[in-house]
Chain A
Amino acid sequence: MAGARSASSTSYPMKRLFHTILATAALGLAACNDNGSGGAGSAGEDAAGTGAAEPKGVIGFSALTLTNPFFKVIADSMEAEAARHGYGLILVSGERDVKRQADQVDDFIVKGVAAIVLNPCDSKSIGPAIKKANKAGIPVFTNDLAYDGGDAEVVCHVATDNLQGGRLAGDAMIKLLGGTGGKVAILHFPQAESCQLRVKGFTEQVESFSRAGIGGRIDIVAILDGGGVRDEGYKAAKDIIEAHPDLAAIFAINDPSALGAHAALEAAGKADQVRIIAFDGQKIGKEAILEGKIVCDPVQFPDRIGKTTIEMILKHFNGEEVPAEVLIPSKLYYREDALQDPELKEAP
């Protein structure tokens, strides 16, 4: 093997070098082109998001992940709103890797962005990166997911009011079962603080109704971890109906776990008996509401989360007082809303 290596002619390395240089140059060019066309394409119309030429400055946004459409909507609405006010937006994604996100914050600081927006990939470990931005004098904002550490400074956090959303789900459940009462199960995802708030709001509302005794009793008979995903929601729901064959309804903390539960109910022939209330208002959820698989969702407004974040940044630069937290209320979405929803119109 070693002999073979030294036998290669000296002209070869030069050729290899030439090839690599060519390849790299091509890649570099490809990268530049991507920048021009890709940026404008994803932004829609007017945001030509290239850094230095922006008159008022550039905002750097590191999203949790862009594989979930929820965050893409936040990013798109931020980009549109920033462009309306003469700011550019640089979009990157931590893809749930906090080191990568910290490196992206470093890059933002080098680029001298006016402000940084984060969906922290880890609510605590992102602290040193935020502190670095603080030290560089760049204001940091968060949305959807909050920073939950000690001493780093976040100007403002924008998110859905999950407690209020949970109460709305509770109200919807009371409307659904209030006359007769019945047994209810919750598909939880306890790791996420947002889901804890949803379940808290829901439970409070339902329990106070049952205590008041103005209608039938609604009993929460089971709280299981549905993982926030389809397959775990399926398994959890299957176990619940084994244990409680007379179950009347399920509250699921998001759309995917609700759809998993619905599949389990269908398999058990109980889809008509057990009704589902979910949360989120993702497109799959809205479609399920239209088809009657889910009764209703308190919907989140990722576009408003993005827009409000930019508004808070503008306020900050305007020298106005910015609240430490802005909560966007959610709204109940029923089949009647789905029938009029332009988002679902194209569906055959």
Chain B
Amino acid sequence: MPKPSAHSAAGQFIRDYGMIFVLLLLVALFSVLTLAEQHPTGAEAGRQVADRIVDAAGKSAGVIIVTRDTAEDRAFSAAIAARLADLGPTVHATVNGSPADARRAIVAVLARGESIDAIAANDATSRWTVYGQFDGLSDALVVPRSHTWPNFLKMSNVLGVANQTAIYAIIAIGMTMVIITAGIDLSVGSLVALSSVAGALVIRDLGGGTEAGAGMMLAGLFGGIALCALAGAFSGAMVTAFRIPAFIVTLAMMLMASGLAFRLSKGASIPQLPESFFWIGGGVTLGLPNPVWLMIVLYVLAHLLMTRMTFGRYVYAIGGNAEAARLSGVPVKRVLLAVYTISGALAGLGGIVLASQLQAGDPKFGLMYELEVIAAVVVGGTSLLGGSGKILGTLIGAFIIAVIKNGMNLTNVDPFNQKIVLGAVLLGAVLIDTLKRRRA
């Protein structure tokens, strides 16, 4: 391959990863559409409220503080109390709880004959209607100043989107490889369910359920993944040895795996898992949710595998022209077997992460995941005809779909219309792929 000039290198980048601009555009679009007033809570907001109370009601004011029972709200109320203690006003009562708690506290304060000159609240607690029951109390509310910021770009939302996408994105790695070989794997959704059930069963029945130790947890984890890898290998064997179309083989596997998951679990979810198991899907390391770390690591590995190693070149070669690949010495059968096994194993991993996130194994998990995942791969620029596609493109595709879904939820798009939009996005992506081929 000749060394590309700077100009054509940029062109190549756009050709391979042009969808990233679509993603950025969507981010910008939803940032504008979800601009909303943000209502701070926490210590900083608390100090501000205390200052405003002194400004409005003076240094001898009687104050009650009303917040909910959350970590942020407790920091907020503690900061108010500390600041007010310095400035002079008396705090008659502090509520960290429900509107009913607030009512009881107000009744008690009024019964003691103390006056309530100000109620320190945050936006959420100021919207409670409980104060309206008492004369003049609604006017005594003091809340932190709000500011404008897109809901979409809130840290919690960005991390949430990444976390929600991680499982689809992880499964999509294997699907990308399968599709690049001009195959398809419809069984991944059922394998997610099967792996969650198998993993949970190992932990419950062999490891002692909620009391299970780390060893049994790992056994459950690898048991689930291994079972799905085996299922993937079986599909791969059917495709290579008997030349049955992948569509049919994996459709059959989809039914069998789902049936097996229901059989093993007797149709019920299996929640008897130890608390520590939830760390995989629910924990946070260095500020990022664990599934996101897992996704990043796997994508780096898969990218290297597909771009820097012989295996990756074989995968592309098979998708381009399997017969030509075979004639030029590519071990087609072994590579295909490996690709389907990887796809199965990653679906199994997805099932384990999902079971950890939702704290149960369940045969109903993974419903329609194959379509979600195929959509991510196709939107990411991989052609269903095989031979072309990029692993990182799939990551972008997964995020495009996730951002559209999240953005539509945040802008209150009707759920029926959401389906129509997602269908149109998928169709648009395939259309682009078709046009690209016709031009090339």
A in complex with B: yes
User: What is A's interface to B at a CB cutoff of 8 Å?
Assistant: 1-2, 4-8, 10, 12-14, 16-17, 19-21, 23-25, 27-28, 30-32, 34-35, 38-39, 42, 49-52, 56-57, 66, 90-93, 96-99, 102-104, 106-107, 109-112, 114, 122, 124-125, 127-128, 135-137, 139, 149, 191, 314, 316-322
Kindly list chain A residues whose C-beta atoms are within 8 Å of the C-beta of B127.
56-57, 114, 317
Q: Which of A49, A98, A137 contacts B73 (CB 8 A)?
A: A137
Instruction: Known A32-B411, A110-B156; judge A122-B8 contact (CB<8 A).
Output: no
| B29 interface neighbour in A14, A28, A99, Cβ under 8 Å | A28
Residue of B nearest to A136 (CB): B70
Complex Cα–Cα for A14 and B439 (A): 13
With known contacts A96-B364, A316-B98, A128–B359 Cβ distance under 8 A: yes
B406 adjacent to A39 (CB under 8 Å): no
Q: Are A128 and B282 in contact (CB under 8 A)?
A: yes
Contact A23 B428 (CB under 8 A): yes
Bound: A32/B123 CA distance, A: 27
Min distance, Cβ A345 to any Cβ of chain B, angstroms:
28
- For the complex, give the distance between the alpha carbons of A38 and B21 in Å: 29
**Shortest beta-carbon distance from B6 to chain A in Å:** 12
Is the Cβ of A97 less than 8 Å from the Cβ of B368? yes
Q: Using A13-B14, A57-B127, A318-B130 as known contacts, say yes or no to A1 and B321 having CB atoms under 8 A apart.
A: yes
* Interface set of B (CB-CB < 8 Å, partner A): 1, 7-8, 11, 14-15, 18-19, 21-22, 25-26, 29, 33, 36-37, 39, 68-73, 98-104, 123-124, 127-130, 132-133, 151, 154, 156-157, 160, 164, 167, 267, 269, 271, 278, 282, 316, 319-321, 354, 357-360, 362, 364-365, 367-368, 387-388, 404, 406-417, 421, 424-425, 428, 432, 435-436, 439-440
Bound together, the chains give a CA A322 to CA B432 distance in angstroms of: 55
- 17 example contacts (A-B, Cβ-Cβ < 8 A) are as follows A1-B388, A14-B14, A16-B432, A24-B26, A28-B29, A28-B33, A92-B409, A99-B167, A99-B358, A102-B358, A106-B160, A110-B160, A112-B123, A122-B269, A128-B358, A318-B129, A319-B130
Rounded to whole angstroms, the CA-CA distance of A112 and B41 in the bound complex is 12
Chain B residues whose CB sits within 8 angstroms of the CB of A30 once the complex forms: 421
Q: With a CB–CB cut-off of 8 A, which chain B residues contact A314?
A: 129
Question: B368 — which chain A residues lie within 8 A by C-beta?
Answer: 97
Does A139 lie within 8 Å of B320, measured CB to CB?
Answer: no
Highest count of chain A CB atoms <10 Å: which of B7, B102, B123, B428: B428
Across the A-B interface, give the 5 residue pairs with the lowest CB-CB distance, nearest first. Answer: A319-B103, A319-B130, A137-B68, A1-B320, A10-B11
